[in-house]
């Protein structure tokens, strides 16, 4: 075989190999770009965020709010509602994903801020929930009521209960040691028709004291409140019992122990009348009561 023929065959073989590689490159699928590059290309620019005051956990109607019930939550600025409560700081872009250490530090800082709350958060301290809120829901003014605002007592009242005031003195209210939130029994002693005996009747048992005068909470470190009126939470079906008692004379509040607060408010029962008698012994007289 001549050298020319060998050279032609070698050139044809080389051309065939090159053609095979070229066809393979055209038919084979292209290698996809890295996922990181796709995510970077698809990710929108960071949205400015504001801090919005939200419920830290579910809050039911009638619950009293404290700083530990609230927290700050990032919220897109373009989704803010004018009724939302913000911390007033300038909006900030979304930061990079935090590390585990940063998350722990942020959680500890948030807990401390909740306890040492000030500003907008502190303004809701002691407010009563008027409309139920779920965890993470923004806190707005119409869903709470603060002390002194209209509707405050109506929110504090439990369903089916009524608020009723009765006159009191230091003598008829356990020396002033009855405070809002305590439970009491209401007693009344009055003369019997025979004019010789005194009948004692427990009008109501286990009533909750809502307020003394206009104070729904005692002052800080206060152990007693001496007022002229006690506002009691009374079942709607028993309001006439206290109304009748107010017309019949002075009533007394008897403070119940914290260990004896269970159960609901109930009507009391009359006790037997007592008759006053004078007993003379060894020349000395004394008054005794006989049932």
pLDDT tens column, 19-76: 777 767 666 566 666 666 565 556 667 778 888 999 999 988 778 888 899 999 999 8
* pLDDT at residue number 217: 77
Give me Rg for the CA atoms of the chain.
Answer: 39
Question: Are residues 165 and 234 located together in one domain of the fold?
Answer: yes
Q: Say if 77 falls within a structural domain.
A: yes
Rounded Cα–Cα distance for residues 179 and 216 (Å)? 9
* Shared-domain flag, residues 231 and 141: no
pLDDT for the residue numbered 33: 60
Q: Domain range holding 67?
A: 49-145
Q: What is the pLDDT of residue 115?
A: 40
Helix (H, G, I), strand (E, B) or coil at 147: coil
The reported pLDDT for the residue numbered 112 is: 46
For residue 19, tell me if it sits in a domain.
no
What's the pLDDT score for residue 201? 87
Q: Are residues 102 and 168 in the same domain?
A: no
Neighbouring-strand partners of residue 230: 166, 212
Tally of domains within the chain: 2
Same domain, 77 and 169: no
Q: What is the predicted pLDDT for the residue at 116? A: 40
Asked whether residue 6 is assigned to any structural domain, the reply reads no
Complete DSSP assignment for 150-198: TTHHHHHSPTTEEEEEEE--TTTTGGGT--TT-EEEEEEEEE-TTSSEE
User: Where a domain ends, among 119, 145, 171?
Assistant: 145
- Candidates 11, 128, 109; CA nearest to 66 is 128
Q: Say if 24 falls within a structural domain.
A: no
Same domain, residue pair 190 and 251: yes
Average of per-residue pLDDT values in the chain? 77
pLDDT of amino acid 254: 93
Among 121, 145, 169, residue at a domain's last position: 145
- Residue 80 placed within a domain: yes
Q: Which residues of the chain are under the pLDDT cut of 70?
A: 1-2, 4, 23, 25-44, 88-118, 147-151, 269-291
Determine, yes or no, domain membership for 74.
yes
Give the per-residue pLDDT at 252. 92
3-state secondary structure of 240: helix
Q: Is residue 23 part of a domain?
A: no
Statement to judge: residues 67 and 141 lie in one domain? yes
Domain boundary among 145, 166, 182: 145
* Residue 187, domain member (yes or no): yes
Residues 192 and 255 in one domain: yes
Distance, CA of 77 to chain centre: 27
One domain, residues 163 and 252? yes
């Amino acid at each position: 075989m001549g050298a020319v023929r060998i050279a032609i065959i070698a050139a044809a073989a080389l051309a065939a190999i090159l053609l095979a590689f070229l066809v393979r490159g055209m038919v084979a699928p292209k290698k996809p770009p890295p996922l990181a590059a796709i995510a970077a290309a698809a990710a929108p620019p960071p949205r400015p965020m504001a801090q919005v005051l939200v419920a830290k956990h579910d809050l039911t109607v009638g619950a009293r709010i404290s700083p530990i019930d609230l927290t700050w939550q990032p919220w897109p600025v373009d989704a803010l509602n004018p009724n939302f409560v913000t911390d007033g700081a300038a909006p900030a872009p979304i930061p990079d994903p935090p590390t585990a250490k940063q998350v722990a530090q942020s959680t500890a800082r948030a807990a401390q801020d909740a306890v040492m709350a000030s500003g907008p958060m502190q303004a809701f301290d002691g407010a009563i929930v008027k409309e139920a809120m779920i965890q993470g829901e923004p806190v707005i003014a119409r869903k709470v009521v603060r002390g002194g605002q209209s509707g405050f007592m109506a929110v504090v009242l439990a369903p089916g209960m009524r608020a009723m005031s009765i006159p009191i003195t230091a003598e008829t209210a356990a020396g002033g040691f009855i405070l809002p939130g305590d439970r009491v029994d209401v007693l009344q002693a009055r003369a019997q028709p025979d004019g010789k005996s005194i009948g004692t009747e427990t009008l109501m048992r286990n009533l909750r004291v809502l307020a003394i005068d206009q104070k729904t909470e005692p002052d800080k470190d206060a152990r007693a409140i001496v007022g002229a009126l006690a506002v009691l939470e009374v079942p709607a079906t028993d309001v006439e019992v206290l109304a009748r008692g107010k017309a019949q004379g002075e009533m007394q509040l008897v403070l119940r122990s914290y260990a004896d607060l269970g159960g609901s408010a109930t009507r009391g029962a009359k006790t037997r009348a007592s008759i006053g008698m004078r007993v003379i012994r060894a020349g000395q007289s004394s008054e005794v009561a006989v049932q």
